[in-house]
Amino acid sequence: MLSMLNQYRAQSGIAPLALDPRLSRIAEDYAKKMAAADKMGHDVDGHSLLGTRLKGYGYAFSNAGENVAAGYHTLAEAFSGWRQSPPHDRGMKDPEMSLMGIATAYNPNSKYKVFWCLIFAHPPVVTADGTLMGATGGLAPSATALTIR
């Protein structure tokens, strides 16, 4: 996914993302949560919005966003669905993001079967005097759920 997404960003002159294993772990936990609940969305249990989740893992960020999906059986299908959705496409092309993590989870008893979570983030900036700027985090306006077929 990283190379696919970075090629897509490069076509628009946007800097590449780096894979962050911590974001992938957070994405994996959330994909599993969606699969277990058989629900797709950014807050499947009423208290798990992205900013709350990231802070709960102790993940400092200045900006973050996510794309979630369900029902796509391959990465290529999920990527295509996100590209065709303007809010998700904006998230993938957001020049303010520098890191990403992605994961999928499977629930054979779900109508969707496969759940995806892609998280983007940008770390806080550390100034010359060591001050941490932006550690409280902000959420990208493009963090929306994809309607699934």
CA pair distance 121, 101, nearest whole angstrom:
9
Q: What is the pLDDT of residue 131?
A: 67
Over the chain, what is the mean pLDDT?
Answer: 87
The answer as to whether 143 is a domain residue is no
pLDDT in tens, 21-69: 999 999 999 999 999 999 988 888 876 789 989 999 999 999 999 999 9
| 147 domain residue, yes or no | no
DSSP 40: -
pLDDT computed for residue 139 by the predictor: 47
Rounded Cα distance, 111 and 39, in Å: 10
Residue 139 lies inside a defined structural domain of this protein = no
In a domain, 121, yes or no: yes
Inside any domain, residue 138: no
Compute the distance between CA of residue 70 and CA of residue 138 in angstroms, rounded to an integer.
Answer: 25
Residues 6+ apart with CB under 8 A from 10: 16
Domain count, the chain: 1
pLDDT category of residue 124 using cuts at 50, 70 and 90:
confident
Structure-token match 């957070």, residue found:
26
Residue 141 lies in a domain: no
- The Cα–Cα gap between 127 and 107 comes to 45
Is 144 a member of any domain? no
Q: What is the CATH number of the domain that holds 24?
A: 3.40.33.10
DSSP letter (8 states) at residue 136? T
Contact between 119 and 23 under an 8 Å Cβ cutoff? The reply is yes
Provide CB contacts within 8 A for 76, sequence distance 6+: none
- 145 lies in a domain? no
Domain that holds residue 60: 2-133
Return the residue matching tokens 């999906």. 69
What's residue 48's pLDDT? Answer: 78
Q: Output the pLDDT for position 149.
A: 32
> Residue 27 has what pLDDT?
96
Least confident of 14-28, 106-120, 132-146: 132-146
Strand arrangement of the beta sheet that strand 114-122 belongs to: 18-19, 99-106, 114-122, 63-70
